Structure 1
Amino acid sequence: MSVPAKLIYFAIIFLVFYIYYSCGYFHSQQYDDDKKCFCELKGSINDCSCTVDTVDYFNNVKIFPRLKSLLLKDFFRFYKVNLKNECPFWHDDSKCVMRFCRVKSCSEADIPPGIKGAASIENPAFKYTAPGNSEESDCRKDFDEKLGYLNTSISEAAHEEFRKWADHDEAEDDFCISDDQQHEAEYVDLLLNPERYTGYKGKSAHKIWSSIYLENCFDSNTQINKKLTYVPNEMKFSCLEQRAFYRLISGLHTSINIHLCSKYLLSQNNDFLNPNGVWGPNINEFQKRFSPETTNKQGAYYLKNLYFLYLVELRALAKASPYLKTEEYFTGNAEEDHEVKLAVSDILSLVEKFPSHFNENKLFSSGIESMKLKSEFKEKFRNISRIMDCVGCDKCKLWGKLQTQGLGTALKILYSDKFNTIIGPHSSEKYSKDNVTPHLTRTEIVSLFNAFGRLSNSIFELENFRKILR
């Protein structure tokens, strides 16, 4: 072969090699596998008129930075919860003894007086106290003296009965069990106790999720694989409501897994050089929880369920926006309270303008059968809130209860007749406190915003994992 022919031959070989290399044919199989769980995370989010890319941009650019700043404020950082409830389903003898599982308590002096309910003229709740009604009592006294005495007093026992009736009526709308009024409930500073991997694992941790999935089934068409990821049988559900239930739980599970992978405990419990622990992203743990090989090719489905849950809670915020904009977010610090009110209003205005909201009217809209499904739906979520009392790690229990209550609050907003009547399913009408009001407690509002903040953080962290895998 002549020299020019050899040069042409080698040039052709080089060109073919270059083309194959550029197209990725010589990349490692591991690299291709790493990309699989993301390459399918595109396009529309099932049961919603929205795409993954739309949510990514909206959340990462507009919502996440604002939420991150808002949740640092005193009104949202103190959450009242009972971490001492006994597990109602089995004897819990698997308490996590690692120091990272413990919840750091805050002193009474750290809690803003307005959050604790201290009576003052500035406190919006003051008008409902006895001192707040003293002027009216004097007027009534003068009136009674003129027209004859009329005993309008109500005994303490009667007041207690009225309170029980009101609580019962309110609980009818609740999708989860709140324990903030229980005797052992206490305030926890969420900033002192961030959600991250504590080392809590093993049979106790596995039992929680297996109970959540298997004991709240609509039927027996489910299984749990070896990695404790939920695998429905070919995703065949008899109705949209059942599919939505499983997608919400799967989305919550996915979000928590992403938090644990992005804030993974990189130092051991006996690492005395780092007594406070070292946390950071663990890409191997992320791959184990979401790659096609370890999830029976369900990894992308789990990630899309996170987006589904995000859209459900986003819609709840939009629906309750007229109500939430009227709240005072009172802590006793006038300057910060004003800043919080403005920040909440800013976020809610953005949420209202989101172009492709989840349509809650698709669920529970077919008469008597839907009412039965709604009741079953509600009872299953309440059952999940009970299971959270069985978590052996106190810090995990704290965030599990908060995120469960946040989701329950979102469902209450979407499917409570009070919110439907006052605000309307897709209404932009202004909410007035002179109307018969829907009602959210401070704890529900705190859990709603913090739970949505956790979902927002998960979607933001997904982009970070994308960058690492690239």
Structure 2
Amino acid sequence: MPRSLDFLCVTREREGLTGFPEEVVDSFLEAFKVTGSLDDCTCDVETIDAFNNYKLFPRLNELLESEYFKYYKVNLKKPCPFWTDNSHCGIRDCAVKPCESDEVPDGIRSASHKYSEEAHNLAGECEEAQRLGAVNRSLSEEAQKAMLQWTQHDDSSDSFCEADDIQSPDAEYVDLLLNPERYTGYKGPDAWKIWNSIYEENCFKPQTVKRPLASGRDDEGHAFYKWLKGVCVEKRAFYKLISGLHSSINIHLSARYLLQDTWAEKKWGHNVTEFQQRFDEILTRGEGPRRLKNLYFIYLIELRALSKVLPYFERPGFQLFTGNQVRDAETKALLLQVLRLTKSFPLHFDENSLFAGNAREAAKLKEEFRFHFRNISRIMDCVGCFKCRLWGKLQTQGLGTALKILFSEKLIEKMSESSPSQAFQLTRQEIVALMNAFGRISTSVRELENFKTLLRTVP
């Protein structure tokens, strides 16, 4: 067995897995190959890998570590709206550590309006409160204009998600850097029920068509993919987005797996066996490479949305408020660098291929699309593991925000640079979710390269 993979097998030994013989590594690398062009796109895997891993990923990571983007307000206590289930995961790694109320500055806690709260918040939160000092409440004229934009916005018909009420007493701020997405041990029937509800009830699939690996027969998904090929491009795109999100989450769990848990320390790292079980072509009967191609599809969708929303953030009156004017200006400058970099990508997804044709039928289909996605965002409140629920809610809201942007292109184009936008708005929650959700997808693409490197390493 290659010695460099010993540490990756430590948690698998008790399950009877002794290692990775060289021939297994070779066969997996061959089966793992995901190359070439993507269906329903003009792009290819190699172009995305080069752009993401060496240009975009480093700058995006730097942005997401900033004060503005690391705090997310979320209600993890909302009841499941679809079935009665009050059970919650008892595994300690499922817990989320929110910010204590007395650690949040008075200016945030006492805000009377949800959008003015958003405009003042977050740099002084939690453990950063003493270091950053008091929030500066003397806002400039430009800042007041940006606040007005938020006050004029409410949950409207353009939303693809069931958003949390951040004024709810159950809504709490969470530091995303202190609560990273990783393997928690949440699995089995409860986790299966979540994804089964998403795929079976919200992906436009008839009950008679069985999903691959769920059909009970070894047909390698031929019937399912025959059906998928025959549906309209919008319904096909919807399935690929959900599959891509699912794949991304599975990559995160494999890349930040609990390898060692003792009284002295916990060790998190890459678990190649876990990754192989989810994506190897042979073990998944051909599903693994398809799942990974769907990851690249969702990457293109969210990348396109970021490139489209650039004018919204370029306006002089738009500010990212934390209370520290110098840092806020630096964060906005870095955000604009990231968004301009997304715009430079050479092979963007063409969203004009969606909801084209007959206007009445396209509008009806778009509402179905929105309805199913809102349902999926609500299903996240049924996840028993709180850490999984946190990241599930954030990533669905981020993807929903990306869809909102793509279908608001004309409204964005009509925005004035000097006055508040009446037609198109993003709340701070949407902005934080949008960037962090894409950060998760970008990380997944980068982790694919890490897994390939680990498999090739033989000292």
Question: For residue 362 of structure 1, what is the amino acid of its counterpart?
Answer: S
What is the aligned partner in structure 1 of residue 17 from structure 2? Answer: none
Question: For residue 70 of structure 1, what is the amino acid of its counterpart?
Answer: L
Task: Tell whether the 8 Å contact from 1:36 to 1:291 is kept in structure 2 after alignment.
Answer: no
Could you report, residue by residue, the CA deviation over 1:336-386 in whole angstroms, capped at 9, with x for unpaired residues? 111101101111111111111111110001122111111111001000011
Percentage identity across paired residues of the two chains: 51
What is the aligned partner in structure 1 of residue 160 from structure 2? Answer: 175
CA distance in 2, matches of 1:227, 1:253: 19
Q: CA deviation at 1:313?
A: 0.4
TM-score, normalization by structure 2 = 0.81
Q: CA deviation at 1:110?
A: 4.7
Task: Tell whether the 8 Å contact from 2:306 to 2:342 is kept in structure 1 after alignment.
Answer: yes
What is the aligned partner in structure 1 of residue 139 from structure 2? Answer: 122
CA distance in 2, matches of 1:362, 1:349: 23
Mapping 1:290-305, distance limit 5 Å = 290-305=279-294
Alignment pair present for 1:247 and 2:237: no
Mapping 1:345-384, distance limit 5 Å = 345-366=336-357, 367-384=359-376
Alignment pair present for 1:199 and 2:193: no
What is the aligned partner in structure 2 of residue 310 from structure 1? Answer: 299
> Given the superposition, is the C-alpha separation of residues 412 and 106 from structure 1 closer, same or farther in structure 2, using an over 3 Å criterion?
same
Greater mean deviation of Cα atoms: 389-398 or 118-127: 118-127
Task: Tell whether the 8 Å contact from 2:76 to 2:171 is kept in structure 1 after alignment.
Answer: yes
> Given the superposition, is the C-alpha separation of residues 37 and 121 from structure 1 closer, same or farther in structure 2, using an over 3 Å criterion?
farther
Could you report, residue by residue, the CA deviation over 1:125-147 in whole angstroms, capped at 9, with x for unpaired residues? 97479xx99xxxxxxxxxxxxxx
Task: Tell whether the 8 Å contact from 2:95 to 2:387 is kept in structure 1 after alignment.
Answer: yes
Task: Tell whether the 8 Å contact from 1:33 to 1:292 is kept in structure 2 after alignment.
Answer: no
CA distance in 1, matches of 2:185, 2:25: 28
What is the aligned partner in structure 1 of residue 313 from structure 2? Answer: 324
Alignment pair present for 1:279 and 2:268: yes
Q: Secondary structure at 2:35's aligned position in 1? A: coil
* 1:31 maps to which of 6, 25, 30: 25
Q: Secondary structure at 2:260's aligned position in 1? A: coil
Task: Tell whether the 8 Å contact from 1:264 to 1:281 is kept in structure 2 after alignment.
Answer: yes
TM-score, normalization by structure 1 = 0.79
CA distance in 2, matches of 1:468, 1:43: 22
5+ long unaligned stretches in structure 1: 1-26, 134-162
Task: Tell whether the 8 Å contact from 2:259 to 2:269 is kept in structure 1 after alignment.
Answer: yes
* 1:266 maps to which of 253, 256, 259: 259
Could you report, residue by residue, the CA deviation over 1:310-346 in whole angstroms, capped at 9, with x for unpaired residues? 1100100111001023331110012211110110111
Could you report, residue by residue, the CA deviation over 1:235-276 in whole angstroms, capped at 9, with x for unpaired residues? 4332100110000000000000000000001134xx3232xx
CA distance in 1, matches of 2:446, 2:363: 36
> Given the superposition, is the C-alpha separation of residues 128 and 314 from structure 1 closer, same or farther in structure 2, using an over 3 Å criterion?
closer
CA distance in 2, matches of 1:84, 1:49: 42
Task: Tell whether the 8 Å contact from 1:196 to 1:259 is kept in structure 2 after alignment.
Answer: yes
* 2:277 maps to which of 280, 288, 292: 288
Q: CA deviation at 1:436?
A: 3.8
Q: Secondary structure at 2:437's aligned position in 1? A: helix
Question: For residue 216 of structure 1, what is the amino acid of its counterpart?
Answer: N
Task: Tell whether the 8 Å contact from 2:212 to 2:287 is kept in structure 1 after alignment.
Answer: no
Task: Tell whether the 8 Å contact from 2:153 to 2:427 is kept in structure 1 after alignment.
Answer: no
CA distance in 2, matches of 1:126, 1:59: 33
Task: Tell whether the 8 Å contact from 1:78 to 1:187 is kept in structure 2 after alignment.
Answer: yes
Q: CA deviation at 1:30?
A: 2.1
> Given the superposition, is the C-alpha separation of residues 256 and 262 from structure 1 closer, same or farther in structure 2, using an over 3 Å criterion?
same
Task: Tell whether the 8 Å contact from 2:309 to 2:412 is kept in structure 1 after alignment.
Answer: no
Q: CA deviation at 1:111?
A: 4.5
> Given the superposition, is the C-alpha separation of residues 125 and 381 from structure 1 closer, same or farther in structure 2, using an over 3 Å criterion?
farther
> Given the superposition, is the C-alpha separation of residues 123 and 379 from structure 1 closer, same or farther in structure 2, using an over 3 Å criterion?
farther
Q: CA deviation at 1:227?
A: 11
Question: For residue 317 of structure 1, what is the amino acid of its counterpart?
Answer: L
Task: Tell whether the 8 Å contact from 1:310 to 1:455 is kept in structure 2 after alignment.
Answer: yes
Question: For residue 95 of structure 1, what is the amino acid of its counterpart?
Answer: H
Q: Secondary structure at 1:369's aligned position in 2? A: helix
* 1:440 maps to which of 412, 426, 430: 426
What is the aligned partner in structure 1 of residue 443 from structure 2? Answer: 457
Q: CA deviation at 1:222?
A: 3.5
Task: Tell whether the 8 Å contact from 1:320 to 1:423 is kept in structure 2 after alignment.
Answer: no
Q: CA RMSD in A?
A: 2.7
Task: Tell whether the 8 Å contact from 2:240 to 2:297 is kept in structure 1 after alignment.
Answer: yes
Could you report, residue by residue, the CA deviation over 1:70-96 in whole angstroms, capped at 9, with x for unpaired residues? 111110011011100001111224311
> Given the superposition, is the C-alpha separation of residues 166 and 330 from structure 1 closer, same or farther in structure 2, using an over 3 Å criterion?
closer
Task: Tell whether the 8 Å contact from 1:210 to 1:224 is kept in structure 2 after alignment.
Answer: no
CA distance in 2, matches of 1:227, 1:345: 47
What is the aligned partner in structure 2 of residue 86 from structure 1? Answer: 79
- The structure number with the bigger radius of gyration is 1
Task: Tell whether the 8 Å contact from 2:204 to 2:235 is kept in structure 1 after alignment.
Answer: yes
CA distance in 1, matches of 2:63, 2:237: 29
CA distance in 2, matches of 1:383, 1:290: 27
Mapping 1:369-448, distance limit 5 Å = 369-416=361-408, 419-423=409-413, 431-433=417-419, 436-448=422-434
Q: Secondary structure at 2:249's aligned position in 1? A: helix
What is the aligned partner in structure 1 of residue 211 from structure 2? Answer: 223
CA distance in 2, matches of 1:60, 1:110: 37
Task: Tell whether the 8 Å contact from 1:124 to 1:328 is kept in structure 2 after alignment.
Answer: no
CA distance in 1, matches of 2:160, 2:373: 6
What is the aligned partner in structure 2 of residue 59 from structure 1? Answer: 52
Greater mean deviation of Cα atoms: 170-179 or 311-320: 170-179
5+ long unaligned stretches in structure 2: 1-20, 109-119, 124-134
What is the aligned partner in structure 2 of residue 186 from structure 1? Answer: 172
What is the aligned partner in structure 1 of residue 5 from structure 2? Answer: none
Greater mean deviation of Cα atoms: 114-123 or 353-362: 114-123
CA distance in 2, matches of 1:60, 1:397: 28
> Given the superposition, is the C-alpha separation of residues 123 and 93 from structure 1 closer, same or farther in structure 2, using an over 3 Å criterion?
farther
> Given the superposition, is the C-alpha separation of residues 191 and 180 from structure 1 closer, same or farther in structure 2, using an over 3 Å criterion?
farther
CA distance in 2, matches of 1:392, 1:64: 31
What is the aligned partner in structure 2 of residue 340 from structure 1? Answer: 331
Question: For residue 175 of structure 1, what is the amino acid of its counterpart?
Answer: F
Q: Secondary structure at 1:443's aligned position in 2? A: helix
> Given the superposition, is the C-alpha separation of residues 77 and 210 from structure 1 closer, same or farther in structure 2, using an over 3 Å criterion?
same
